[in-house]
Homo-oligomer: A and B are copies of this chain.
Amino acid sequence: MEEWAVGVDLGRTKIALGLIDPQKRIVRHRRLPTNADAGAQSVVERIAQSVDELRHELPATARICGLGICTPGPVDHETGVVGEVHEMRGLHHAPLRAMLADRLGLPVSLDHDAKAAALGEYHYGAGRGEPAMVYVVVGTGVGAAIVVDGQVYRGVRNTAGEIGHITLNRDGALCPCGSRGCVETYTSGPWLARRYQHRCERAGIVETATAPATGESVTARARQGDPIALQVLYEAGQALGVAVASVAMILDIELFVVGGSVAKAGDLLLAPARRTLLEYSYRSVGTRVRILASEMGEDAPILGCGWMACERRP
């Protein structure tokens, strides 16, 4: 029998499922609304119905070897229980792994979405064949998942990779975390928008400043040549470069793959990051380290979940 896998990226608003063939291609995609307010049982049932439907599409020679699922926010990969995820109250403390395993009769793995994305990117994307990789998510926040020898490095409480709160400037902007000048105050979507609006106001560009700006809208404006948007993205990339330099020197890892919504800015973000990495590290480190865009994009967590379900060493 061929071994196929199911990967499930359970997000705040939508659930993305993928049926993964033995060549690690996602041959079927499905999307469902998350609707976490309806409770864990309802979420599990909707996922399970989709899996049941996907099972009918399998070739006769194939079987599903397992299902991997990932969620944002804290999650206990050992017990398979979801933590308290912002905006997903209906799933707080749900034993999601056991519920899905019972309903589907399949082995189920559960992990954090950035870790799943890192595993997908490492095993099937930009990290293929590398000894180690740091996957950096730049979106609403800035986080990272560290992969060494094909496994996630977790630290003592499974919180390793909290790079969004590395201090870049002790006199910098006050971060909601209580510290100042954190990476997130430069590089995350909400702060990109905030910095953009602030600069526009300062420049007296009232019309633009009153329009709601998000990280994505700043990127869109930068693409159209808006000099303030370009500058804000440039500074975000510089901050990312300093953070990458620090992480590279601490971990001695040479590949950084950047994903997440803000990473869609591509080289507008990554080119200044690469330049700054060279400036703010040992030269020997700076010249060895590569900062690449994610290859797998939104498929990364689904593929990582498939890997967790069927390939991970116990």
Which residues from chain A sit less than 8 Å from chain B, CB to CB?
131-132, 144, 146, 154-163, 165-170, 177-180, 242, 245-247, 249-254, 279-283, 285, 288
Which residues of B sit under 8 angstroms from A154, Cβ to Cβ? 252
Which residues of B sit under 8 angstroms from A144, Cβ to Cβ? 250
- Interchain CB contact (< 8 A) of A156 among B131, B146, B156, B165: B131
Q: Is A162 within 8 A of B249, CB to CB?
A: yes
Which residues of B sit under 8 angstroms from A170, Cβ to Cβ? 168-169, 242, 280
Which residues of B sit under 8 angstroms from A132, Cβ to Cβ? 155-156
Q: Is A252 within 8 A of B160, CB to CB?
A: yes
Q: Is B280 within 8 A of A246, CB to CB?
A: no
Q: Is B285 within 8 A of A249, CB to CB?
A: no
- For the complex with contacts A156-B253, A162-B250, A167-B280, 13 further pairs of A-B residues with Cβ separation under 8 Å are A144-B250, A146-B250, A154-B252, A155-B252, A159-B252, A161-B252, A162-B285, A163-B249, A166-B249, A177-B283, A179-B279, A180-B280, A250-B250
Give the complex CA separation of A249 and B144 in angstroms: 11
Give the complex CA separation of A246 and B108 in angstroms: 34
Q: Is B161 within 8 A of A250, CB to CB?
A: yes
Q: A167-B245, A167-B246 are in contact. Are A156 and B280 (CB under 8 A)?
A: no
Q: A170-B242, A242-B167 are in contact. Are A160 and B280 (CB under 8 A)?
A: no
- Interchain CB contact (< 8 A) of A250 among B179, B247, B282: B247
Q: Is B249 within 8 A of A281, CB to CB?
A: no
Measured CB to CB, the closest approach of chain B to A303, in angstroms, equals 23
Q: Is A254 within 8 A of B156, CB to CB?
A: yes
Give the complex CA separation of A132 and B132 in angstroms: 20
Which residues of B sit under 8 angstroms from A279, Cβ to Cβ? 178-180
Measured CB to CB, the closest approach of chain B to A19, in angstroms, equals 34
- Interchain CB contact (< 8 A) of A251 among B155, B167, B245, B252: B155
Closest to A177 in B: B282
Closest to A182 in B: B280
Which residues of B sit under 8 angstroms from A254, Cβ to Cβ? 156-157
Which residues of B sit under 8 angstroms from A281, Cβ to Cβ? 165, 177, 179
Closest to A160 in B: B252
